[in-house]
Chain A
Amino acid sequence: MSSDRPDTADLLTAVRGFRDVVAASRLPLDLPSTAAAKDNREALLRQLDDYVIPRLSSIDAPLLAVIGGSTGAGKSTLVNSILGREVSKMGVIRPTTTSPVLIHHAEDAHWFTDTRILPGLARVTGATASDDQPNTVRLVSSDRLPPGMALLDAPDIDSVVSANRGLARQLLAAADLWLFVTTAARYADAVPWDLLRQASDRGTAVAIVLDRVPPEVMGEVRPHLVEMLRDQGLGTAPVFPIPETTLDADGLIPDGDIARLRSWLRDLASDAAARDVVVRQTLTGALASLDERSEELVVASRTQQRVVGELQQVVDQTYRKARAGIEHGMSDGRLLRGEVLARWQDYVGTGEFFKKVEAGVSRLRDRISDVFRGSAAPVPEAVDDALQTGVAQLIEANADSAAIDVARTWRGLPAGAEILALHPGLARSSPGFPAEVDRAVRLWQGDVLDLVSSEGGNRRTNARIAAYGINGVGMFLMLVVFTHTAGLSGAEVGIAGGTAVLAQRVLEAIFGDQAVRTMAAKARAALIARSDALVESEAKRYAEAIGTVHVPADQADQLSRALDRVQAAR
């Protein structure tokens, strides 16, 4: 039979490829908007494993009719009555059936004992176990069933036991034919109709058993159900009404009431062509449904990608702001005010007295050179410390604020809250950050000294540097770095001006004014590069955390491509 369909092999390969892509796809975030897609992905994978791939690889396997329906509809009683003996437990306690029973003809056993279909369920054979085992399917062989067809008694679709509901849906998705059991009391329930709508959408072959109908209302209920089925696009589905009767001594439905159903099943099983039609109808429907279902997955992938992208954007923006804050703090000259300035003024002692004689820079220079050469204070440590503290504080505070800001914004985003719960450390700067900053600032001071000694190329300059000490000159350069671009305003000259102008004049006297400008620019660039690297490494922690919930960029495209291959092979 399969020989006249040479495309099956290609199709199977394409479907297997599609399955692998779906299995590899990730929706790592628990977003409300993609919760349904996540569940459907599971269902899709299961249907591919349980049904589509096995059916494609062995198109001649027996037809599997799954008996599904509401709790209390009498599924087990129906199965037992068809087989003429109790293979599935019956009773008034709902839900009665919790682990499925698969009934097949002895000749067909080999189709079901291996994991060809329903690979996730373990096989159990033999007598009815006293208690149900989860995740198993019990295999029962029966002569009352013709070869070529198997029945699967599924758990209910709507009881309080949620495991049953999930399993029933999985089993129905693995069926070639749904034998849907409902009752006179239930036939308008919402839950079964949701499933029937799905069956209709996917073109699944369906037969309806209308069970437990009080004989007096048969004439009213049956036409109503048929009408509802027609409205749902299931007008071709056969309906088998079974009246509410007293069961016989074994608890089975009298033969007369189920004769029609039984003979329909027997005919279907023995007619290979009819069986093939049913199998192909459901298979084609399942393959066609892949379109919509993979589209949902694609949309969900994109949504998650976008959400993750938003998180990254928050990080980028916040840390960009932090970097800008640091840079601004360094270049607007005000870093020199407050602490640094106070120390410097104490140190150099600029005051009214000296302002009066400021015109004669030489005298100041003398005084300063005394200071720097004098063994008492070779390095203006107070200024140095204040400067170091100021710069370190500027970087730390900006980075810390950025971390707190990111955490706060993230908490408002569904995905962000989830990541923060996993990585609580992200709400702060990393613990070693202050030490890193201190180290970086010290290294930068080293950079500045290197700059001074490399600039002091010729002997004359070197001699002048020696007059102030290399540390002293470096100190001047650092001071100039924080004021050079500022262009001090009139009001500020009074306070900061004395300082910076003084330092700058000393430097200009040593190196020449163009060189001072270049050196200051270089020193500043070096400091900004170091602080940027620090901030960058802080921001990277978020990227790493995001990475754990990252959706591969090409996931959506891969899904689409794999699906295209399947559709091309159909």
Chain B
Amino acid sequence: MSVFKMGRGGSAPSVTAESLRAHATALTDALEAGGAQLPAPEVERARAVLEKVTERGRHTGAHTVVAFAGATGSGKSSLFNAVVGGAVATTGARRPTTATPTAAVWGPEPAGELLDWLQVGSRHQVTTERGTPLDGLVLLDLPDFDSRESANRAEAERVLSFVDVFVWVTDPQKYADARLHDDYVAAMRHYDAVTIVVLNQADRLTTAQLGECSADLRRLLLRDGLTSADVIATSARTGLGVPQLRARLGEAVAGATAARMRLDADVRTAADGLRRGVADQEVDLGNASSEALVDALGRACGVPAVVDAVANDYRRSAIAAGGWPFTRWIVRLKPNPLGRLRLDAPAPSIDADVRRAVGRSSLPQATPAARAAVDLAARRLADTASEGLPRLWAEAVAAAALPPQERLADELDQAIVRTSLQRREPVWWSVVKTLQWVAALTALVGLAWTLTQLLLGPGGLIQLPSVYVGPVSLSLVLLIGGLLAGWLLALLSRWVASVGARRRGLATKRRLHAAVGSVADALILGPVTDVLSRHRRTRTQLDAARR
């Protein structure tokens, strides 16, 4: 992609206003999404670029700003004068010669406002006939960037940040200077589409030497990262190469896309800079909070205690239901485990509301070990989530994974309280209960019968018939059978109760963990995922801005 028709192959599509706008929007979005997690100096640079895009858009018109930049003594001003065709810029032997930039403007369109924006004071209107290929060109002669006058360097860099096309002017003596290559050409290699390199003072070399020298300069430019490094050999003194340079400048003006290309390269450079503060991918945490975290949170808010209480409550109630009616009252003396935790709501239908009104459960507060375990699980989650992320992002993830202890404790407690623990009474309870009563009644009847027979005897007032089952009296069979059946039933229901209690406990644990998991999702995983998705958005927007 180049503003210059290189004459080799078709030139790539130039930057349209739309694509520049799209890139700038993507960069703006990335800055917004990245927030404080992007490195501050890069953000500042990107903001400056975005501002420049807006500003330059206002001044664009038909002007293309081209700057001659280079070392002191390379003959920038002489070349400038040769291109302009008059002694506009000061030339001299005393180094450094130029301290402030000079502008030359081609064409009828006024460039005053643009030059005001560039803060270039000394201006020259080039008188040409209408319609020359250079119409719309604003050519700047910049101060040097390598003399001991550091003010010159600062001024050159200031103006360079605004121009559309760079012309690096060097000479056979200085063409391999580190300052030119390392500090400028390599640092601005992204702008290769709008870069021209000129080897001035070519008259000092023989033709053979010039060829050698140009080839070496081209090698160095490739090393700097310019992909289409073309070198124009010029001589301000003999006029060699000046028409060629003019023609090249004319190409840059003709497209009128140089400004956009420069700005686009600016946006891409800024995005590149920001991209270094963003990782290539994020860890996918999935939707559910990790088992370890839920387990730790559950432990911290006393899930095992609740589960045990529920199981005990079930066992107790089951025993109460299926126990021998004669000794059942003893169970009632034992504490209701759910009551101790204030979790024994009257009925599942209204319990949620009631308990919400009652507020905190009286679950035992988390032990220090449990709280430390929650802390650790959250930190581990943050560690996993922030793997490979740059430091600022990793810190954001860590902060998101550690919600305030108080709030977490409160939410967890509420989650436990809201979870319905009561379940419908199993059918077998009432069946067993009825059977127990039947057995008890049978035993009672048998007892009464037997007693009557014994007390009132054969000579008594009331003669009850003696029915024998085999050799044993039926009354005795009823009594002993009733007692035995009750005892066996109690034994059986005790066994069934313990199995049921275990299952009830597991079911409760599942439900509680689901409740705790949703708190973990909302308070820990959610914020962490938010940071990660912010990271993803920043990354994709930056990549879009660099495309």
Q: Nearest A residue to B364 by beta-carbon distance?
A: A337
Q: A159-B178, A183-B173, A190-B146 are in contact. Are A397 and B95 (CB under 8 A)?
A: no
Q: A186-B173, A193-B148 are in contact. Are A401 and B379 (CB under 8 A)?
A: yes
6 A-B pairs whose Cβ atoms sit less than 8 Å apart in the complex: A71-B174, A72-B175, A92-B205, A185-B173, A342-B308, A390-B369
Residue A165 at the chain B interface, CB threshold 8 Å: yes
Residue B521 at the chain A interface, CB threshold 8 Å: no
User: Are the C-beta atoms of B93 and A214 separated by less than 8 Å?
Assistant: yes
Query: For residue B71, which residues in chain A have a CB less than 8 angstroms away from its CB?
Result: 189
Q: A342-B304, A353-B334, A397-B376 are in contact. Are A337 and B367 (CB under 8 A)?
A: yes
Q: Which of A299-307, A328-336, A558-566 contacts B (4 or more CB under 8 A)?
A: A328-336
A333 CB to closest chain B CB (Å) equals 10
Q: A188-B148, A191-B146 are in contact. Are A73 and B173 (CB under 8 A)?
A: yes
The one of A93, A329, A338 in contact with B364, judged by C-beta atoms closer than 8 angstroms, is A338
Q: Nearest A residue to B301 by beta-carbon distance?
A: A338
Residue A184 at the chain B interface, CB threshold 8 Å: yes
Number of interface residues of A (CB under 8 A): 64
Q: Which of A257-265, A279-287, A404-412, A520-528 contacts B (4 or more CB under 8 A)?
A: A404-412
User: Are the C-beta atoms of B366 and A338 separated by less than 8 Å?
Assistant: yes
Q: A73-B173, A190-B147 are in contact. Are A339 and B372 (CB under 8 A)?
A: no
Residue B131 at the chain A interface, CB threshold 8 Å: no
User: Are the C-beta atoms of B209 and A185 separated by less than 8 Å?
Assistant: no
- When chains A and B are docked, how far (Å) is the Cα of A221 from the Cα of B372? 77
**Count of A-B residue pairs with CB < 8 Å:** 180
Q: A92-B212, A185-B73, A190-B146 are in contact. Are A220 and B379 (CB under 8 A)?
A: no
Q: Nearest A residue to B93 by beta-carbon distance?
A: A217
Q: Nearest A residue to B208 by beta-carbon distance?
A: A92
The one of A95, A338, A394, A396 in contact with B299, judged by C-beta atoms closer than 8 angstroms, is A338
- When chains A and B are docked, how far (Å) is the Cα of A221 from the Cα of B73? 12
Q: A72-B173, A94-B216, A185-B74 are in contact. Are A328 and B368 (CB under 8 A)?
A: yes
Query: For residue B146, which residues in chain A have a CB less than 8 angstroms away from its CB?
Result: 189-191
Residue A250 at the chain B interface, CB threshold 8 Å: no
Residue A272 at the chain B interface, CB threshold 8 Å: no
- When chains A and B are docked, how far (Å) is the Cα of A412 from the Cα of B394? 11
User: Are the C-beta atoms of B333 and A352 separated by less than 8 Å?
Assistant: yes
Q: Nearest B residue to A356 by beta-carbon distance?
A: B333
User: Are the C-beta atoms of B179 and A412 separated by less than 8 Å?
Assistant: no
Query: What 1/0 mask marks residues of chain A from 152 to 182 whose CB sits below 8 Å from any chain B CB?
Result: 0000001111100100000000000000000
The one of B365, B366, B395 in contact with A408, judged by C-beta atoms closer than 8 angstroms, is B395
Q: A165-B178, A352-B333, A404-B383 are in contact. Are A397 and B375 (CB under 8 A)?
A: yes
Query: What 1/0 mask marks residues of chain A from 180 to 207 whose CB sits below 8 Å from any chain B CB?
Result: 0001111111110100000000000000
Residue A84 at the chain B interface, CB threshold 8 Å: no
> Among the interface residues A159, A193, A217, A412, which one has the most CB atoms of the partner chain B within 10 A?
A159
- When chains A and B are docked, how far (Å) is the Cα of A24 from the Cα of B153? 41
- When chains A and B are docked, how far (Å) is the Cα of A25 from the Cα of B365? 56
User: Are the C-beta atoms of B372 and A397 separated by less than 8 Å?
Assistant: yes
Q: Nearest B residue to A327 by beta-carbon distance?
A: B368
Residue B96 at the chain A interface, CB threshold 8 Å: yes
- When chains A and B are docked, how far (Å) is the Cα of A220 from the Cα of B93? 7
User: Are the C-beta atoms of B178 and A93 separated by less than 8 Å?
Assistant: no
Residue A391 at the chain B interface, CB threshold 8 Å: yes
User: Are the C-beta atoms of A185 and B181 separated by less than 8 Å?
Assistant: no
The one of A159, A220, A339, A351 in contact with B305, judged by C-beta atoms closer than 8 angstroms, is A339
A496 CB to closest chain B CB (Å) equals 8
Task: In the A-B complex, list the 8 residue pairs whose CB atoms are closest, starting with the nearest.
Answer: A329-B368, A185-B73, A397-B372, A217-B93, A94-B176, A188-B95, A72-B173, A394-B369
Query: What 1/0 mask marks residues of chain B from 4 to 34 whose CB sits below 8 Å from any chain A CB?
Result: 0000000000000000000000000000000
Which residues, 300 to 338 on B, are CB-close (under 8 Å) to A?
302, 304-305, 308, 312, 333-335
Query: What 1/0 mask marks residues of chain B from 349 to 371 whose CB sits below 8 Å from any chain A CB?
Result: 00000000000000011111110
The one of A160, A165, A190, A328 in contact with B148, judged by C-beta atoms closer than 8 angstroms, is A190
- When chains A and B are docked, how far (Å) is the Cα of A224 from the Cα of B308? 96
User: Are the C-beta atoms of B220 and A160 separated by less than 8 Å?
Assistant: yes
B497 CB to closest chain A CB (Å) equals 16
User: Are the C-beta atoms of B391 and A411 separated by less than 8 Å?
Assistant: yes
The one of B94, B176, B178, B372 in contact with A224, judged by C-beta atoms closer than 8 angstroms, is B94
User: Are the C-beta atoms of A334 and B365 separated by less than 8 Å?
Assistant: yes
Known: A190-B147, A404-B376. 7 other contacts (CB 8 A): A70-B177, A71-B173, A185-B95, A186-B73, A341-B305, A408-B394, A427-B383
- When chains A and B are docked, how far (Å) is the Cα of A221 from the Cα of B92? 10
Residue A567 at the chain B interface, CB threshold 8 Å: no
Residue B125 at the chain A interface, CB threshold 8 Å: no
B509 CB to closest chain A CB (Å) equals 14
Residue B149 at the chain A interface, CB threshold 8 Å: yes
Query: What 1/0 mask marks residues of chain A from 64 to 88 whose CB sits below 8 Å from any chain B CB?
Result: 0000001111000000000000000
User: Are the C-beta atoms of A329 and B369 separated by less than 8 Å?
Assistant: yes
User: Are the C-beta atoms of B299 and A71 separated by less than 8 Å?
Assistant: no
User: Are the C-beta atoms of B177 and A393 separated by less than 8 Å?
Assistant: no
Query: For residue B379, which residues in chain A have a CB less than 8 angstroms away from its CB?
Result: 400-401, 404
Query: For residue A43, which residues in chain B have a CB less than 8 angstroms away from its CB?
Result: none
Q: Nearest B residue to A337 by beta-carbon distance?
A: B364
Residue B447 at the chain A interface, CB threshold 8 Å: no
Residue B541 at the chain A interface, CB threshold 8 Å: no
Query: What 1/0 mask marks residues of chain A from 407 to 426 whose CB sits below 8 Å from any chain B CB?
Result: 01001100001000000000
- When chains A and B are docked, how far (Å) is the Cα of A372 from the Cα of B188? 83
Q: A185-B173, A338-B302, A338-B364 are in contact. Are A160 and B181 (CB under 8 A)?
A: yes
Residue B256 at the chain A interface, CB threshold 8 Å: no
User: Are the C-beta atoms of A325 and B176 separated by less than 8 Å?
Assistant: no
User: Are the C-beta atoms of B364 and A495 separated by less than 8 Å?
Assistant: yes
Which residues, 386 to 405 on B, are CB-close (under 8 Å) to A?
391, 394-395, 398
Residue B410 at the chain A interface, CB threshold 8 Å: no
Residue B111 at the chain A interface, CB threshold 8 Å: no
Residue A47 at the chain B interface, CB threshold 8 Å: no
User: Are the C-beta atoms of B334 and A397 separated by less than 8 Å?
Assistant: no
Residue B520 at the chain A interface, CB threshold 8 Å: no
Residue B182 at the chain A interface, CB threshold 8 Å: yes
B535 CB to closest chain A CB (Å) equals 17
User: Are the C-beta atoms of A393 and B373 separated by less than 8 Å?
Assistant: yes
User: Are the C-beta atoms of B175 and A338 separated by less than 8 Å?
Assistant: no
Query: What 1/0 mask marks residues of chain A from 203 to 221 whose CB sits below 8 Å from any chain B CB?
Result: 0000000001010010011
Query: For residue B93, which residues in chain A have a CB less than 8 angstroms away from its CB?
Result: 184, 214, 217, 220-221
A99 CB to closest chain B CB (Å) equals 17
